[in-house]
Amino acid sequence: MKMEIIMAGFGGQGIMLMGEILAHSAMLEGREVSWIPSYGPEMRGGTANCMVVISDKRIPSPIISSPDVLVAMNKPSMEKFTPMVKSGGIVILNTALIDERPARDDIKVIEVDATGIADELGNMRVANMVALGVLIGETGIVKPETVIKSIDYFLPAHRKNMMEINEKALKRGIAEVQK
Amino acid sequence: MEKVLMKGNEALAEAAIRAGCKCFFGYPITPQSELPAYLAREMPKRGGVFLQAESEVAAINMVYGAAGAGVRVMTSSSSPGISLKQEGISYLCGAELPCVIVNIMRGGPGLGDIQPAQSDYFQATRGGGHGDYRTIVLAPSSVQELVDLVYDAFDLADMYRNPVLILGDGILGQMMEPVVFKERPARQLPPKDWATTGKMGRQKTNVINSLYLDPIKLEEHNLKLFKKYQEIEAKEARYEILNGDDAEYFVVAYGICARIAHAAVEMAREDGIKVGLIRPITLWPYPKKAFEEVLPKAKAFLTVELSLGQMVEDVKLSVEGRAPVYFYGRTGGMVPTAEEIFEEIKKMRGLS
């Protein structure tokens, strides 16, 4: 088993953290993992992406050239990374910020209004957890309860009040693909 | 033992504290700034000193001072900052002071960019500053290896009274992987009876110095250093060979490039090409033995680097004309894909 995932969006959408939480939970489940951020001269509102590799074996390259899964949280990310996705791969689109659809018929496109759902839950910033929920609901790569442990690990002590809404967002994401 | 998910830069910093590093002097630069940031937070809590100097030049001279006083000391920077430290590194080598210097390489020359590169290989392995000297150069290729080599770096520095360079790159510094901080038995190291710690009843006056105005004395000093370098070359070269058992072709790569090359080697294997990977772990001393090990059966070598060809010279010096040596590199912060390297492996097979 090996899965290569690219997550991308605007700086400030919690792209890096979404990747870290996924990598961390896969590690807790005993897998080999790697996580690489883009680290250009970027800032809030600029583009950000990270690459996560999860495997049962030693990971040769942490750098991904054709991902199994793309999570695109905004339009520039969809345009940039969709051509790289493996044939038969999965693209998760945040429809709130993407008004077009990829022109490929050899991939599975999952549309989810991550930002809208997060807003409905009371905080737009948990859109990343909605998208992560979709990813794990669709692929089964890690268990939801492990992801919840990882969210708790990354939330600093003074932000533990955010635990509940993050958990809700994750579960809503899972429900989106399992309904 | 507990696994934690950590960035290369932060794991390196944590490993330094655990290896007994008591002082850190540095100046921030991307892509290594998480390292001093971590130490700025942790060092004061854990009995160490963190000091952000006014410049790289100041920082390396503070390293000289602390090393002279016999404490474990480290500095870190990225390519342009390491160039600034070269004068100090030459002095440290001349005065035989143990210390650890981290270079998380980025694209050059000049200010270049902040993306990963391996274009400081010549500078790291050929001395870098003025004079007849060598620094031990370690090249980790995973976050776990970064941690393990930090402990080794401090031990090697103390064993040989010599600066040790850890040569990483932007990806290695920025990436996260699981790491375990293993407890390690303390090595038997020579006492630092040369350190300038105050005489306290001792008869001899210790002096830390790299100035020998009498050329006879300076030649003697250089020959003494040279003998030490020969001993390091004989004892400390390290490498890893992957997929080597039945291999007829070899890719040679270090650091993050070795990880990508490993993926390319696996692709080529699926295609039926008998190819292996030589991964130098020490860049100086260069692991020539790895080549002796595979040369009877090796038909050709392909060196892959994030530069336009620097380590390839050491590969040629090791192969000594006994097989063709090819090269592929990307530079300026660009990183080759595994597919690109796979294409080069196919070319190598066609050419030889």
CB proximity list for B36: less than 8 A, separation 6 or greater: B13, B24, B26, B28, B50, B52, B76
Domain range enclosing A83: 2-178
User: Fold identical between B4-198+213-236 and B240-351?
Assistant: yes
Closest B-chain CA to A33: B177
In chain B, where are the structural domains located? 4-198+213-236, 240-351
CB proximity list for A157: less than 8 A, separation 6 or greater: none
For residues B100 and B74, is the Cβ–Cβ distance under 8 A? yes
HSE of A165 in the Cβ direction (CA atoms, 13 Å)? 17
pLDDT at B185 over 90: no
Residue B297: Cβ-neighbour burial (10 angstroms; 0-12, 13-18, 19+):
middle
Q: What is the CATH number of the domain that holds A167?
A: 3.40.920.10
For residues A6 and A67, is the Cβ–Cβ distance under 8 A? yes
A34 touching chain B per CB within 8 A: yes
Q: Which of B177, B257, B265 to mutate to test the interface with A (most CBs of A within 10 A)?
A: B177
CB spacing of A23 vs B175 below 8 angstroms: no
Work out the mean pLDDT of chain B and round it to a whole number: 97
Per-residue pLDDT of A78-115, as tens digits, reads 999 999 999 999 999 999 999 999 999 999 999 999 99
Per-residue pLDDT of B18-33, as tens digits, reads 999 999 999 999 999 9
Work out the mean pLDDT of chain A and round it to a whole number: 95
CB spacing of B115 vs A40 below 8 angstroms: yes
State in words which class domain B4-198+213-236 has.
alpha beta
Whether domain B240-351 has CATH 3.40.50.2000: the reply is no
CB spacing of B114 vs A39 below 8 angstroms: yes
CA distance B19 to B21: 6
Q: What are phi and psi of A127, to 5 degrees?
A: -55, -35
Residue B57: Cβ-neighbour burial (10 angstroms; 0-12, 13-18, 19+):
middle
Q: Which pLDDT band, with edges at 50, 70 and 90, does A41 fall under?
A: low
B171 touching chain A per CB within 8 A: yes
Record the tokens describing residue B31, joined without a space: 């892509």
SS3 of residue B48 by DSSP: coil
Looking at residues B274-289, what average pLDDT do you find? Answer: 98
The separation between CA B241 and the C-alpha centre of its own chain, rounded to angstroms, equals 18
CB spacing of B171 vs A62 below 8 angstroms: yes
Q: What are phi and psi of A140, to 5 degrees?
A: 65, 20
* Cα angle B258, B10, B150; round to 5: 60
CA distance A62 to A35: 7
Q: Which of A61, A150, A153 to mutate to test the interface with B (most CBs of B within 10 A)?
A: A61
A31 touching chain B per CB within 8 A: no
Nearest Cα to B254, choosing from B169, B181, B164, B332? B169
pLDDT at B303 over 70: yes
Total count of domains within chain A:
1
A12 touching chain B per CB within 8 A: no
CB spacing of A23 vs B176 below 8 angstroms: yes
List, in sequence order, every residue forming a beta bridge with B99; answer none if it has no partner: B163
Q: What are phi and psi of B210, to 5 degrees?
A: -125, 15
Min mean pLDDT across A161-175, B144-158, B197-211 is at B197-211
Closest B-chain CA to A38: B174
Q: How far apart are the CA of B49 and the nearest CA of chain A, in angstroms? A: 26
Looking at residues B273-283, what average pLDDT do you find? Answer: 98
Looking at residues B254-275, what average pLDDT do you find? Answer: 97
CA distance A91 to A88: 10
CB spacing of A24 vs B5 below 8 angstroms: yes
B13 touching chain A per CB within 8 A: no
pLDDT at B213 over 80: yes
B residues 197-236 lying closer than 8 A (beta carbon) to A: none
Q: Which pLDDT band, with edges at 50, 70 and 90, does B205 fall under?
A: very high
Per-residue pLDDT of B94-135, as tens digits, reads 999 999 999 999 999 999 999 999 999 999 999 899 999 999
Q: Which of B4, B175, B262, B304 to mutate to test the interface with A (most CBs of A within 10 A)?
A: B175
The per-residue pLDDT for B128 is 92
For residues A131 and A69, is the Cβ–Cβ distance under 8 A? no
Q: Which three-class secondary structure string do you get for A36-51?
A: EECCCCCCCCCEEEEE
